[in-house]
Homo-oligomer: A and B are copies of this chain.
Amino acid sequence: MSAESTIRDVAKFARVSIATVSRVLNNSPAVREDTRKRVEEAIEALDYSPNPIARKLSRGRTHTIAVVLPLFTLPSFVERLRGVHQELADNAYDLVLYSIESDRQRDEQLARLSSPSRVDGLLLISLPPDDEQAALLLDSGMPTVLIDANHAKFPHVIVDDEYGGRLATTHLIDLGHERVAFLSDFLDTPFHKSMRLRYEGYRTALADAGIPFDDAYHVCDTHGRHEARMQAQQLLQLEEPPTAIFAASDTQAIGVLDAAQDLGISVPGDLSVIGFDGIRDAEYLNLTTIEQPLYESGTTGAGMLLSLLRETSELPQSEVVLPLSLIRRGTTGAPSAVSRLDKISYRRNH
């Protein structure tokens, strides 16, 4: 309905040139006070607001950031996205969303996005670029920041997953557990290198405690609560089941909890469970976990990108490592005597 008024209409109305209108629009100091006032009144009167597209074209910047993330089903992604959104909104940047639901989409998407003048910058969440993609991005010159992904060539915000893995495992060991299992995504998917690092932390902690690693205590599957539940069931039906399970994510830890319930195993009485991430549900479920600042990873990453766009200088810090902390809640405890007894009698029957 409202016939869009342009800068020209305003200029005419205020009896000035469009250049002057543009000046007041951009808060240039080089405008006499009364002229400025007249223009502002005209703007008001015509209910004018500048066309952002024209502005973008003229300025050569889009004031838009593309956020790329894998299928945003998982709570941790959503939490990160929220952080990004907040930071961007605070700085009046638009956020266009690209979700990579399939592996194939990845390359196309990145190619399309790295074409300049589409967006001013790229934020990749949990999507470590492989060498080919990295090269592409790099020579496209598109400012890019990685969140929850590590690559030497790009500024990134991560946590120390190896340390986290040790932290979780050590917690279990300190409690008295010796049969500690590790449940995670597949380790070799390029998607989530974090998984492998957490696994390495697990191995190190075990070694440090002089506990031999048992291959049967290490299970992998695609990410998901249901998959974890199945894997955990296997684990818990071993001849000598673990007394503690370290799940590489909270979502998976919840699956472990499901399995325990399925089998009538009490937590933490007969089984200790620790997760990783610190998603909201973990709190409700009273799940012990290694908490990482998900929301903050979003705000931090977005902040880095923005300052990268602002300054011509290099980024002061190209790697930010966010802190990890053990949140001890109700799903971990010492292996009970009863639990040991059960297992003995169980073994006897076979």
Whole-angstrom CA separation of A51 from B117 in the bound complex: 6
Q: Give chain B residues whose Cβ lies under 8 Å from the Cβ of A1.
A: 138-141
A70-89 vs B, CB cutoff 8 Å, 1 = contact: the mask equals: 01110000100110011001
In the complex, are the beta carbons of B52 and A141 less than 8 A apart? no
Interface presence of A22 (CB below 8 A): no
Q: Give chain B residues whose Cβ lies under 8 Å from the Cβ of A101.
A: 86
Interface presence of A95 (CB below 8 A): yes
Whole-angstrom CA separation of A89 from B72 in the bound complex: 14
A53/B56 contact (C-beta < 8 A), A139-B2, A284-B225 known: yes
In the complex, are the beta carbons of A4 and B82 less than 8 A apart? no
Interface presence of A152 (CB below 8 A): no
A81-111 vs B, CB cutoff 8 Å, 1 = contact: the mask equals: 1100110010000111111010000000000
In the complex, are the beta carbons of B117 and A53 less than 8 A apart? yes
* Choice from B82, B89, B118 contacting A73 with Cβ under 8 Å: B82
Interface presence of A318 (CB below 8 A): no
In the complex, are the beta carbons of B53 and A57 less than 8 A apart? yes
Interface size on A, residues (CB 8 A): 43
Q: Give chain B residues whose Cβ lies under 8 Å from the Cβ of A64.
A: 96
Interface presence of A17 (CB below 8 A): no
A228 CB to nearest B CB, Å: 11
In the complex, are the beta carbons of B72 and A99 less than 8 A apart? no
For window 25-60 of A, CB contacts with B under 8 Å fall at: 49, 51-54, 56-57
Number of copies: 2
A137 CB to nearest B CB, Å: 11
A166-186 vs B, CB cutoff 8 Å, 1 = contact: the mask equals: 000000000000000000000
A333 CB to nearest B CB, Å: 18
In the complex, are the beta carbons of A99 and B85 less than 8 A apart? yes
A129-157 vs B, CB cutoff 8 Å, 1 = contact: the mask equals: 00000000011110000000000000000
Interface presence of A307 (CB below 8 A): no
In the complex, are the beta carbons of B85 and A78 less than 8 A apart? no
Whole-angstrom CA separation of A64 from B64 in the bound complex: 12
Q: Give chain B residues whose Cβ lies under 8 Å from the Cβ of A97.
A: 85, 95-97
Whole-angstrom CA separation of A116 from B138 in the bound complex: 35
Q: Give chain B residues whose Cβ lies under 8 Å from the Cβ of A254.
A: 284
A275 CB to nearest B CB, Å: 15
Which of A1, A64, A97, A281 has the largest count of B CB atoms less than 10 A from its CB?
Answer: A97
Interface presence of A226 (CB below 8 A): yes
Interface presence of A62 (CB below 8 A): yes
For the complex of A and B, list the 9 residue pairs with the smallest distance between their C-beta atoms, beginning with the closest: A1-B139, A1-B141, A51-B117, A49-B115, A53-B57, A53-B56, A94-B96, A95-B97, A57-B57
20 contacts between A and B (CB under 8 A): A1-B138, A1-B139, A2-B141, A4-B117, A52-B117, A53-B56, A53-B57, A53-B118, A54-B57, A72-B81, A72-B82, A73-B280, A85-B97, A85-B99, A89-B98, A89-B99, A94-B96, A96-B96, A96-B97, A226-B284
* New contact pairs (11) apart from A2-B139, A2-B141, CB-CB < 8 Å: A1-B138, A1-B139, A49-B115, A52-B118, A54-B117, A73-B78, A82-B99, A85-B99, A94-B96, A96-B97, A258-B284
